[in-house]
Amino acid sequence: MLILITHSSGHMGVVNTKALEILNINKDTKDPIGGKIGRENGIPNGYLEESAFIDNTKKCMNISIEKLMEAIKKAERIYLQYGITTAQDGLTKYEEFNILKEMSKKNMLDIDVVSYVDIKNCKEIIDENKEYLKYHNRYKIGGYKLFLDGSPQGKTAWMSKPYENEKEYRGYPIYKDSEVEHFVDTAIKENIQIITHCNGDSAADQLISAFKNKKTNIRPVMIHAQTVRKDQLKEMSKIGMIASFFADHIYFFGDIHLKNLGKRAFNISPIKSAIKNNVVYTIHEDTPVVEPNILRSIWITLKRETKNGVILGEEEKISIEEALKAATINAAYSYFEENEKGSIKEGKNADFIILDKNPLKVKNIDEIQNINVLETIKNGKSIYKKINN
């Protein structure tokens, strides 16, 4: 029997001996670029990290297209329950593209789905399907996706200084500077947006450096931006780079960050600093790492409290208005859709949600995470209604 267990972050996991055989991983297998294979006395022990895990997991699965489409429809219902009318596929390869393209052709999607294509391995998807750079039955390609490092909770994010209780280890990069610059230059030349996974501040440095002194209007996005520094935010503002913060880390992984990062953990997801530096900001959940509960994410940005009750950065707390902006008008801007979505204005898409409480009028911010979505409306049509028990 094949067994695969993934960490909630999706950055690492473990497999059994049968899976190692299927993946052809043995004592002679070298660590891939940007990943590690766990070993004991030189023999793989089943632990796989970053690219060693991410690039191999699909080889262990054999799921029909019909089953995958069914799973996407179930996921779509969850998004609608949380009032989300536009979702992102954050790393689209051929399998994902072919499925979403087929669902688009069959008009199966109820919400808008925006794909970001794996620029390293699947660039040809855009080359061969440029018509999908615009919506076709609620599906479009938004641009390219690039990964530069791992996760801070797994100590694989690429940091400028060592992790706590480590003499030298500070995570590791996936690419050389020249390779990142090549990917960025490709996106700029083609005038296609690129969004880039950066958790560590060294990864952020690498991305920012690749854009310096280059004129562009492609609205590049730094995904997660967990440990981005204030000096880096100033540079991002000059570039026009958007910061998409995985703010849920504060609550779900904040206590681990304190252990791994020490005092640096108090500056994770520095949204207020981004605002002060005129950086366009959004927030996201990186589902399935956590559910796409945007109201809970808003609550987290307001409170900035870990599961153990530690406040991570009082000065980085933001207002409810600023948090709502991250999930609406700024999110639309990040997709080049600010003229169609994100605010209420004549001529824009009628995408609305009806809540059982006004988040602007709650007496206690803890009430925000318990607000219910009663109805989700897409283009003026009700596509989800909460059934009262």
Instruction: Record the pTM.
Output: 0.89
Please report the pLDDT score of residue 8 as a whole number.
66
Distance CA 51, CA 37 (A): 9
Sort strands 43-50 and 12-15 into parallel, antiparallel or unpaired: antiparallel
Q: What percent of the chain has pLDDT over 90?
A: 80
How do residues 300-359 score in pLDDT, each as one tens digit?
999 999 999 999 999 999 999 999 999 999 999 999 999 999 999 999 999 999 999 999
The strands making up 373-378's β-sheet, listed across from edge to edge, are: 352-355, 373-378, 381-385
Any idea where the domains of the chain sit in the sequence?
4-60, 65-334, 352-385
Asked if pLDDT for residue 9 goes beyond 90, the answer is no
How do residues 358-367 score in pLDDT, each as one tens digit?
999 999 999 9
Would you identify the CATH topology of the domain 65-334? TIM Barrel (3.20.20)
Lowest mean per-residue pLDDT among 20-24, 134-138, 328-332, 361-365: 20-24
Environment class of residue 378 by beta-carbon count within 10 Å: exposed (0-12), middle (13-18) or buried (19+)? buried
What's the average model confidence in pLDDT over 225-239?
A: 97
How do residues 79-122 score in pLDDT, each as one tens digit?
999 999 999 999 999 999 999 999 999 999 999 999 999 999 99
pLDDT band of 59, cuts 50, 70, 90 = low
Lowest mean per-residue pLDDT among 46-50, 58-62, 141-145: 58-62
